[in-house]
A and B are shown apart, each in its own frame.
Chain A
Amino acid sequence: MSFNRRTFLQIGSGALGLAITDATFTKFAFAEGAAGTLRVAIAKPAGNLDPQSHYAIWAIQDLMFDPLVRYGKGGQIEPCLATDWKIEDGGKTLHLTLRKGVTFQDGTAFDAASCKWNLERWLGLDQFSWMNCSKYFQSLEVVDDHQVALHFKEPPLALMQELSYTRPPRFLSPKSVDANGKFVEPVGTGPWRQISADDTQSVFERYDGYWGDKPTYQRLEAKVIPDPRARVAALRAGEIDLVGGFWIAPLTPVEAKQLEAAGLNVVIDPGNVTLVMAFNPDRTEALKDPQVRKAISIGIDRAAISQALYQGFARPAGNLFSDALPFAGTQHDAPVRDVAAASALLEKAGWTGGPVRSKDGTPLTLEIVVSPDAVPGSRVVAEVIQSEMKEIGIDLIVRSVDHASKHTDMLERKYDLGFFLTYGAPYDPFGTVVALCLSTFNNDVEGKLFTDPANLDPLINAATAATGDQIAPSIQKVYDWLRDNDAIAPLVYVPSIWAHSKRVQGFTSPVTEYDMPYENIVLAE
């Protein structure tokens, strides 16, 4: 056989073709992912997973660490590491029966001793006084190997809800700290065990000794992809299987639409967080008048905001909380935009003329402060409201600030109008009502949604002191007061958005934005 130029070219092109084919199929295999592995996008590295620190992604901690009780749909408290509980002594004592046969991922038994060790890492400490159960903690009593009792100075509000939080109440193996009690490695009782973690990904394998329902797949990889466009592309390219969650790797409604159009599965949950507009009457005289506040509120087209900016995924809000939350109160329809009625209210309040209304020579100019870092999409929402306010004779100036400036400005009340997000499950309704509406609650830097020490504070205090059947009617009085005085303008219920590949089957949205929705997933290989 002679080796001429033609043979050389034939062999060369054949080799090149083989190389390309091999590379292509290798890539396809890479894109499809290893069998039995769920690949989830996270927007930043998982961080320090110590349940008593505050650096980590909640959902990653949720994979490894169990709570005593879980927050279920509609705020139902469900058993987890505690199988039974009794609240006695007027709410000052909590008896807990611990689940038997539970071991941490390092083989250590979960019992009253390890429960006590964990709870004493945070209960009663100043750092955690934002939680009622820690603020009022008195003592912990070990009854027997599987029973403990917690004693409080005062009955803690929403005690069982607090015990379902991701941090600090989750349980860590006593062997996962050093001699000084400093956290060394994440070892919990949960269904997933961490096998590696760095700035690019955290890898988990199924803990086969888990006491509950085990995941149907062996491995979970949380891939760090900070850029939202890169997350969308990675899902479309088949390099990840699941993306979404406000605190995990948020998707915008526009991205969700793009993914839907590309044939991926998009799951929209109504969510349990509300975007609310706050008025600041302390800075601007005009906003002291409820008529002006009402005019602004009914001058906003919530349906249009939902349709145009949230792609129809968000529901217009007529209440501080949606009915997805417990004690959300009587549900009212969202106000429908009524320019004529809004203008009439302003006329009645003495704001006349145009194009910008004025009163006693003062133009009706207001400033809205927005921080897209804190509330994604808020600048666009503010611009829409700006054009709507123009139609009713209000000159609205939009001031966009970064996250740090937003905190400073909101705390120092340097705004006329501003956006707030309610805390959502499992913290609400009391989390938002107390932190953002009670004037005497002064331990955060979020600023205030609306306060009225004379009229609103007594209602909130009554609601937080109520027990049993009294809770619903007493918190309803808070909602009614806010509504009757047009103190706030709820805009939309922010949806929870997830997208996944065809490989993921059985996906259901998590109950809260702090959970990782791995539970019902089956991987189609």
Chain B
Amino acid sequence: MIHFISKRLKHSLVLLFMASLVCFTLVVSAPGNVAVLIAELRGAVATPGYVEKVAEEIGLHKPLLMRYAGWLGDAVRGDFGISYRTGQEVSADLPKRMLVTGTLIGGSGVVATLLGLALGFLGAFWPYRLPDRVSRGLALLGASTPTFFVGALMIYGFSVTFQLFPSFGFGGPESWVLPWVTVAVLPAAVLSRVVRVGLEEAMASPFVLTAKSKGLGRTAILFRDALPNIIPVFINALGTQVGLMTATAIIVEPLFAWQGVGDYFLQGVKFRDFMVVQACLLIFLAFFIVVNLIVDLAVLMTDPRIRRQWS
């Protein structure tokens, strides 16, 4: 187990380093002069002399590798630099924004898990009958509808028409409902199919025949025998979906005026706020890597075959 964790951690660090280098290169090689934007934000008129001064100040004249090394060194110490756009320290802005995004992804993950399991079980209880068809249809609809459209529908239905939930803002629990559901729709659709197919496969296994011959009912077999069999697959699928939710957050946060990391990233990209973009990318990458690590560990704990392989 320790060998497994240390190996995965080493891989993760290499991945993080490579990914940050790629992101850095992409961000700095984009066309246009970021110094112009910063000078414009600081003063009413960006004179060429001032633009040059800004370029000097933010180190645009230094070689790329030196800029990257400097940034990486500071980032390792928790210093992500100063936002060009706001003049605030990025590391001071990040905690509150991470809390917002954490609430979004955490809540959506729970909603997606519950919805996915419910729809999957619905189909497995009554295979090829109406509930199964409905569950399959909902999954297809959920998987094919773009997230921004789901969000717009949610706002139109539940905020504009029925005025049940606020259409924007990160306030109390009532303001979390629509963003959670919006982000959860696509993962729930995918997870419901994973559960449904997994349960169907498990129900066709010889051990189910044994259980039936012992007189156990379908419900008992589904929960006691089939469910534990699909847990590793479900965890894998959930891990992938939680990772993808970070990308969805970039769309959903601005839609509901949530000032999270996704919104921060989008604003950073728009204004070429290099420090913000780099910090957000690093957080996203770290999050992906941590989620993958947790998934691997969870699968290791729940799948005896893999546990045997590493023991």
Question: Residues of A with Cβ closer than 8 Å to B?
Answer: 23-24, 27-28, 30-31, 47-48, 54-55, 127-128, 130, 167, 199-200, 223-227, 229-230, 233-234, 236-239, 373, 401-408, 411, 442-445
Docked-complex contact B174 and A47, CB < 8 angstroms: no
A226's contact among B39, B42, B159, B263, by CB below 8 Å, is which?
B263
Residue of A nearest to B45 (CB): A130
Is B43 on the interface with A (CB-CB < 8 A)?
A: yes
A-B contact pairs, 30 of them (CB 8 A): A24-B162, A27-B163, A55-B41, A55-B42, A128-B44, A200-B259, A225-B168, A226-B254, A226-B263, A230-B254, A230-B256, A233-B156, A233-B168, A237-B163, A238-B163, A239-B167, A373-B270, A401-B32, A402-B32, A403-B32, A403-B37, A403-B271, A404-B33, A404-B272, A408-B33, A408-B36, A411-B36, A443-B45, A444-B46, A445-B39
Interface residues of B in 44-76 (CB under 8 A from A): 44-48, 51
Closest B residue to A47 by beta carbon equals: B86
B43:A127 contact, CB within 8 angstroms: yes
CA distance A442 to B159 in the complex (A): 51
Chain A min CB distance to B34 (Å)? 6
Q: What 7 pairs across the A-B complex have the smallest Cβ distances?
A: A404-B32, A405-B32, A130-B45, A237-B159, A227-B254, A233-B155, A236-B160
In contact, B48 and A442 (Cβ under 8 angstroms) = yes
**A230 to B251 Cα, complex, angstroms:** 12
Contact A200 B87 (CB under 8 A): no
Contacting residues, chain A, for B46 (C-beta < 8 A): 444-445
A233 CA to B43 CA in the complex, in Å? 34
A404 touches B37 (CB 8 A): yes
B166-177 vs A, CB cutoff 8 Å, 1 = contact: the mask equals 111110001000
- Say what secondary structure dominates the interface of chain B: loop
Chain A residue nearest in CB terms to B31: A405
Which single member of A28, A225, A373 contacts B257 (CB below 8 Å)? Answer: A225
B164: chain A residues at CB < 8 Å are 23-24, 27
B125 at the interface (CB under 8 A from A): no
Q: Which chain A residue lies CB-closest to B49? A: A443
- Cα distance A225–B169 in the bound complex, in angstroms: 8
Pick the most buried of A48, A224, A225, A233: most chain B CB atoms within 10 A of its CB: A233
- In the complex, which residues of chain B have a beta carbon less than 8 angstroms from the beta carbon of A401? 31-32
How far is it, in angstroms, between the C-alpha of A136 and the C-alpha of B174 when the chains are bound? 57
Do B166 and A223 touch across chains, with their CB atoms under 8 A apart? no
- Interface of B with A (CB < 8 Å)? 30-34, 36-37, 39-48, 51, 86-87, 152, 155-156, 159-160, 162-170, 174, 254-257, 259, 263, 267, 270-272
State how many angstroms separate the Cβ of A412 from the closest Cβ of chain B. Answer: 10
Given contacts A230-B256, A233-B156, contact A54 B272 (CB under 8 A): no
Report the separation of the CA atoms of residues A23 and B174 in the bound assembly, to the nearest whole angstrom: 9
Q: Which of B41, B155, B163 contacts A230 (CB 8 A)?
A: B155
- C-alpha spacing A54/B39, complex, angstroms: 10
Task: Decide yes or no: A55 and B86 within 8 Å by CB, A226-B254, A226-B257 being known contacts.
Answer: yes
Expressed in whole angstroms, the minimum distance between the Cβ of B178 and any Cβ of chain A is 10
Select from chain B the residue with minimum beta-carbon distance to A228. Answer: B254
Task: Please measure, in the bound complex, the distance between the C-alpha atom of A97 and the C-alpha atom of B263, giving whole angstroms.
Answer: 48
Nearest neighbor of A44 in chain B, beta-carbon distance = B267
A407: B residues at CB distance < 8 A: 32-33, 36-37, 40
Docked pose: A28 CA to B165 CA in angstroms: 9
Q: Which of A27, A226, A239 contacts B174 (CB 8 A)?
A: A27
A200 contacts B170, C-beta separation under 8 Å:
yes
In Å, the complex CA distance between A373 and B266 comes to 13
- Give A236 to B156 CA distance when docked, in angstroms: 9
A239 touching B168 in the complex, CB below 8 Å, given contacts A54-B41, A230-B257, A445-B40: yes
Contact of A31 among B30, B42, B163 (CB under 8 A): B163
Of the residues A28, A54, A237, contact of B167 by C-beta under 8 Å: A237
Q: Which residues of A contact B170 (CB under 8 A)?
A: 200
Return chain B residues, CB-CB under 8 Å to A47: 86
Other-chain residue from B36, B167, B254, B263 in contact with A234 (beta carbon distance below 8 A):
B167
- A24, A167, A200, A442: residue with the most chain B Cβ atoms closer than 10 Å: A200
Q: Is the pair A408, B31 in contact by a Cβ cutoff of 8 Å?
A: yes
The reply to whether B166 and A443 form a contact with Cβ atoms under 8 Å apart is: no
Q: What residues of chain B lie closer than 8 Å to A229, measured between beta carbons?
A: 152, 155, 255
Q: Which chain B residue shows the least CB distance to A412?
A: B33
Report the separation of the CA atoms of residues A373 and B267 in the bound assembly, to the nearest whole angstrom: 12
Choose one: B169, B255, B270; the contact of A227 (CB below 8 Å). B255
User: How many whole Å from A214's CB to the nearest CB in chain B?
Assistant: 29
**Judging by beta carbons under 8 Å apart, are A239 and B166 in contact?**
yes
List chain A residues, Cβ under 8 A from B42: 54-55
Which of A47, A226, A234, A238 has the most CB atoms of chain B within a 10 A radius of its CB? Answer: A226
Complex interface: chain A residues within 8 A of B34 (CB): 404
Report yes or no: A230 in contact with B255, Cβ–Cβ below 8 A: yes
CA distance A402 to B272 in the complex (A): 10
Which of chain B's residues has its CB closest to A32's CB? B163
Report yes or no: B165 in contact with A27, Cβ–Cβ below 8 A. Answer: yes
Question: What would 16 more interface pairs be, CB under 8 Å, given A54-B44, A236-B160, A444-B45?
Answer: A27-B165, A48-B87, A167-B44, A223-B168, A223-B257, A234-B167, A234-B168, A237-B163, A239-B168, A402-B270, A404-B31, A404-B33, A407-B40, A443-B48, A444-B46, A445-B46
